[in-house]
Amino acid sequence: MAQTESLDEFLDSQPHRIHRSDRKLVKMVREAYPIGVPALIMKSSTDRLGESAGYEFHLGTPDELLRRLASWLLTEAGANQRALLRLVGRLWARHGREDVALAALLLANLDHASLGTNPWQVLSSSIRDSEPAEALLLSIEELIRAGREIPADDVVIDWCKARRVDGHLAILVVHAGSLKGKSPSEEVVDALGTVEIPDGDSLIGRIMDRMDSSQA
């Protein structure tokens, strides 16, 4: 049976009331992740991959199935997406690689106008004090893919003054904006220069070097 068919069968078996509870949803999606994992992927090796990358676990669920899961959650939630908004926070708190990827898909596609929320603010309030750059990029890329506007300069500058991880979020967001043709203001560039960069050959460091070169 195809992986998508197995996942669809599992999702079809869920009671509709589950969509009213973020606590039940966070347990259910954890059960769904392994359905799409090829049998040859060993749990021990994926756990080690997760730990080394800064995740609590990494099961290897294909991106296609995570997108299918996110689409199902959004469709079944209907107009009431409050539980999904809370689910985003729960996924970040549990912090598996699949959790972070699913949270990115949900956050990018929630109806923030109806919820009265700002996706960038939700993201910054959800992340831990330390995050792998890839985890931040997953959400940034999905938000931009969904057509979300790059945050205003004052938001980015405030991130630079907050936790180190918020500064890293600012760097990655500004870099993503520059790839879309939005050049940072002098105030933003100055603020980014105050952010503490990880030691060694880090992605954050390489991006800062690239942006510094483009500003020279």
Phi-psi region of 200 (alpha: psi -120 to 50; beta: other; left: phi over 0): left
Residue 199 has what pLDDT?
A: 82
Residue 14 has what pLDDT?
A: 96
Question: How confident is the model over 196-214, as pLDDT tens digits?
Answer: 998 876 889 999 988 877 7
Percent of the chain at pLDDT above 70?
A: 90
What does the pLDDT average to over 158-172?
97
Instruction: Return mean pLDDT, the chain.
Output: 90
DSSP string, 64-130: HHHHHHHHHHHHHHTT--HHHHHHHHHHHHH--HHHHHHHHHHHHHS-HHHHT--HHHHHHHHS-SS
Phi-psi region of 116 (alpha: psi -120 to 50; beta: other; left: phi over 0): left
* Whether the predicted pLDDT of 39 surpasses 90: no
Separation between Cα atoms, residue 152 and residue 114, nearest integer Å:
21
36 CB-side CA count, 13 A = 22
- Which of 172-176, 177-181, 209-213 is modeled with the greatest confidence? 172-176
* Whether the predicted pLDDT of 46 surpasses 70: no
Question: How confident is the model over 97-155, as pLDDT tens digits?
Answer: 999 999 999 999 999 999 999 999 999 999 999 999 999 999 999 999 999 999 999 99
Residue 213 has what pLDDT?
A: 78
* Stated pTM of the model: 0.91
Which H or E run contains 140? helix 133-145
Contact 107, 88 (CB under 8 A): yes
Residue 53 — pLDDT band, cuts 50, 70, 90?
confident
Residue 44 — pLDDT band, cuts 50, 70, 90?
very low
Residue 42 has what pLDDT?
A: 43
What does the pLDDT average to over 8-35?
96
Which H or E run contains 175? helix 164-179
Contacts of 199-203 with CB under 8 Å at 24 or more apart are 202/133, 203/133, 203/134
Contact 140, 171 (CB under 8 A): no
